Amino acid sequence: MEQKIIIVGAGLTGSLLSIYLARRGFHVEVYERRPDMRTVGMSAGKSINLAISTRGIHALQQVGLAEKVLQKAIAMKGRLIHSVAGELNFQPYSKNEHEYINSISRRELNVMLMDEAEKFPNVRFHFHHRSTGINLQTGEVQFVDERTSTETTISGATVIGTDGSASAIRMEFLKTGFFNFSQQYEDYGYKELTIPAAAQGDFRMKKNALHIWPRGAYMMIALPNLEGDFTCTLFMSESKATPNLRDLDSGEKIRRFFEEVMPDALPNMPNVVEEYMHNPIGSLLTVKCSPWNVGGKALLMGDSAHAIVPFFGQGMNCGFEDCYYFDTLLEKHGNDWETLFTEFSALRKENADAIADLALENFVEMRDLVAHKDFMLKKKSEVLLEQRYPESFISKYSMVSFHRIPYSVAMKRGQIQDRVLMKICGTLETIEEFNVEDAFAQITQEFTKAGIEKNLTTR
Ligand SMILES: Cc1cc2nc3c(=O)[nH]c(=O)nc-3n(C[C@H](O)[C@H](O)[C@H](O)COP(=O)(O)OP(=O)(O)OC[C@H]3O[C@@H](n4cnc5c(N)ncnc54)[C@H](O)[C@@H]3O)c2cc1C
């Protein structure tokens, strides 16, 4: 089993994967374009913090890291909706106390994973090494040392590309001519801003919540950090709609925007103008492709295989779940890479596509629906259904965030449930008017029509 595996990209997926492979005795060489974030002050990438939930936690549990990671996380028990008038509405994520999502620093998590990986004598990280391509016939990978511009070629038993949404390894797959690829850019970008801690290091807003300022076509969210601050992310049209991120190009326009649409946030954002002017606009992409492997020579995993928009908080969770399933197939197939990679792609592709679509759908929910009466009634109706029919009904949000039900199953069931419940709730004034039995009958009728089992095997 002492074959050499090359991993390209030491982000969240690549670093966790290196641990899984090291535990099975492989010799793992991880090549990363950036410097070592443990030794230089640099951004850890796409977002300051992110939400980890059941799927990601489960994958960490398998390598004994869940507890350690969660000690550095802050529980977010529900959404706290901020209206323009400054009214607050808390919507719990679940009726069960133990079901919540967790805010964690991306840097801290990535560092923990790399530290843990390096405890294995059979794992080595090479920083400043940018892959420029792979020869898919031989499996040789080309790298440039970003400090010296020196080029090197490395080969191993196989190569796994965890080099993110703009994957260089994937570029080579495109050239084979036997590869499907789509990249969808929404006219949405994001800006990260800060609500700093109060004088004594206290949180300026409710700590254990994911804050949302839903404004129809756009929204801001805020996730808590251990230091008492919140990282805010403003998701808005990048350039085409009004308002858009690029149009806010002066201190006056930025201030006026926040005064008008998020007046309760502005007093908590003393550096908003400087941060807005300084921080880049991030882009949001959905990447779908197949197959994820070229024989047994190379495999794509994590965002390089399936980049999704962040509105369900599942991109990393899905990448971590990839690592878990990859490991179960390692158990089954050992180093028969072609069989393993082919089965892995078949198993995960349908689910990656499903969470990509669910994430796009959830943007509408977060930026718009959460503020509407029908939606709030729907949330309450879901609690009643979950209490009454625990074997058969779990809300879409819970199936995705608090269970390990395949994403494709969660999507099929969840979309039917949502459609039926939104229709019913649109006719109600209060939740007391909701008829649980009747709603359940309508849902199961739709399940039957779609060939879906009534009962659900969970977790
Ligand atoms: C704003 C935002 C918020 C998000 N919030 C959440 C959330 O709450 N929950 C969640 O689960 N997910 C979230 N995500 C998604 C999550 O960030 C990604 O799914 C996750 O980072 C994917 O990990 P990865 O390791 O596959 O890719 P990446 O994190 O992109 O890592 C790729 C690594 O490869 C390196 N690399 C790239 N090119 C090369 C090359 N040519 N050679 C060598 N190395 C290379 C990069 O430097 C990087 O270290 C969010 C994403 C965004 C944009």
CA 251 to chain centre: 32
Residue 249: band (very low, low, confident or very high) from pLDDT cuts 50, 70, 90: very high
**Overall average pLDDT of the 46-50 stretch:** 89
Which DSSP string do the residues of 413-439 spell out, in sequence order?
HHHHHHHHHHHHHTT-SSGGG--HHHH
Q: Nearest-CA neighbor of 156 among 189, 199, 122, 184? A: 122
Q: Nearest-CA neighbor of 299 among 291, 307, 311? A: 291
Percentage of residues in the chain with pLDDT exceeding 90? 93
Contact assessment for residue 139 and residue 156, using Cβ atoms and an 8 Å cutoff: yes
**Ligand 1, CB within 6 Å, residue ranges:** 8-14, 31-34, 45-47, 50-51, 130-131, 162-164, 168, 190, 233, 282, 302-303, 310, 313-317, 319
- Omega of the bond leading into 35 within 30 degrees of 0 (cis): no
Condensed to tens digits (0 to 9), the pLDDT of residues 127-176 reads 999 999 999 999 999 999 999 999 999 999 999 999 999 999 999 999 99
Residue 458: band (very low, low, confident or very high) from pLDDT cuts 50, 70, 90: low
Residue 371: band (very low, low, confident or very high) from pLDDT cuts 50, 70, 90: confident
SS3 assignment for 158-217: EEEECCCCCCHHHHHHHHCCCCEEEEEEEEEEEEEEEECCCCCCCCCCCCCCEEEEECCC
CA dihedral sign of residues 59, 63, 67, 70: negative
Contact assessment for residue 163 and residue 9, using Cβ atoms and an 8 Å cutoff: yes
Q: Is 425 left (phi over 0), alpha (psi -120 to 50) or beta?
A: alpha
Contact assessment for residue 262 and residue 82, using Cβ atoms and an 8 Å cutoff: yes
34 CA: nearest ligand 1 atom = 47
192 CA: nearest ligand 1 atom = 1
Residue 303: band (very low, low, confident or very high) from pLDDT cuts 50, 70, 90: very high
13 CA: nearest ligand 1 atom = 25
- Angle at CA of residue 23, ends 21 and 29, nearest 5°: 40
**Overall average pLDDT of the 281-297 stretch:** 97
CA of 45 to the centre of ligand 1 (A): 7
Q: CA–CA separation, 131 vs 152, rounded Å?
A: 9
134 — phi, psi (to 5°)?
-140, 140
Mean pLDDT of the chain: 96
Q: What is the pTM of this model?
A: 0.97
pLDDT of amino acid 369: 83
Percentage of residues in the chain with pLDDT exceeding 70? 99
- Omega of the bond leading into 243 within 30 degrees of 0 (cis): yes
Q: CA–CA separation, 320 vs 50, rounded Å?
A: 13
Q: What is the dihedral angle through the alpha carbons of 140, 146, 150, 151, rounded to the nearest 10 degrees? A: 20
Name the token pair of 28.
């793992």
Residue 10: band (very low, low, confident or very high) from pLDDT cuts 50, 70, 90: very high
315 CA: nearest ligand 1 atom = 19
Condensed to tens digits (0 to 9), the pLDDT of residues 88-133 reads 999 999 989 999 999 999 999 999 999 999 999 999 999 999 999 9
The single-letter code of the amino acid at 47 is S
**Overall average pLDDT of the 174-190 stretch:** 94
Q: Whose CA is nearest to atom 4 of ligand 1?
A: 310
Is pLDDT of 1 > 70? no
Q: Nearest-CA neighbor of 338 among 296, 382, 279, 385? A: 296
Q: CA–CA separation, 371 vs 213, rounded Å?
A: 9
Q: CA–CA separation, 261 vs 367, rounded Å?
A: 13
Residue 386: band (very low, low, confident or very high) from pLDDT cuts 50, 70, 90: very high
CA of 385 to the centre of ligand 1 (A): 36
Residue 2: band (very low, low, confident or very high) from pLDDT cuts 50, 70, 90: confident
- With the most atoms of ligand 1 within 8 angstroms of its CB, the residue from 113, 129, 163, 193 to mutate is 163
**Overall average pLDDT of the 397-425 stretch:** 97
Q: CA–CA separation, 252 vs 110, rounded Å?
A: 37
Is pLDDT of 457 > 80? no
CA of 315 to the centre of ligand 1 (A): 8
Is pLDDT of 83 > 70? yes
Q: Nearest-CA neighbor of 450 among 414, 405, 422, 403? A: 414
Contact assessment for residue 33 and residue 164, using Cβ atoms and an 8 Å cutoff: no
CA of 425 to the centre of ligand 1 (A): 38
> Which domains, ranges and CATH numbers included, belong to the chain?
4-73+105-183+286-362 (3.50.50.60), 185-283 (no CATH), 372-449 (no CATH)
Those residues whose C-beta lies under 8 Å from the C-beta of residue 313, and which sit 6 or more positions away, are 50, 51, 53, 101, 401
CA of 214 to the centre of ligand 1 (A): 25
CA 232 to chain centre: 16
pLDDT of amino acid 43: 76
**Overall average pLDDT of the 35-59 stretch:** 91
Name the token pair of 246.
């690029």
Residue 42: band (very low, low, confident or very high) from pLDDT cuts 50, 70, 90: confident
226 — phi, psi (to 5°)?
-60, -30
The string over 50-71, giving b where at least 16 C-beta atoms fall within 10 Å of a residue's C-beta and e elsewhere, is bbbbbbbbbbbebbebbeebbe
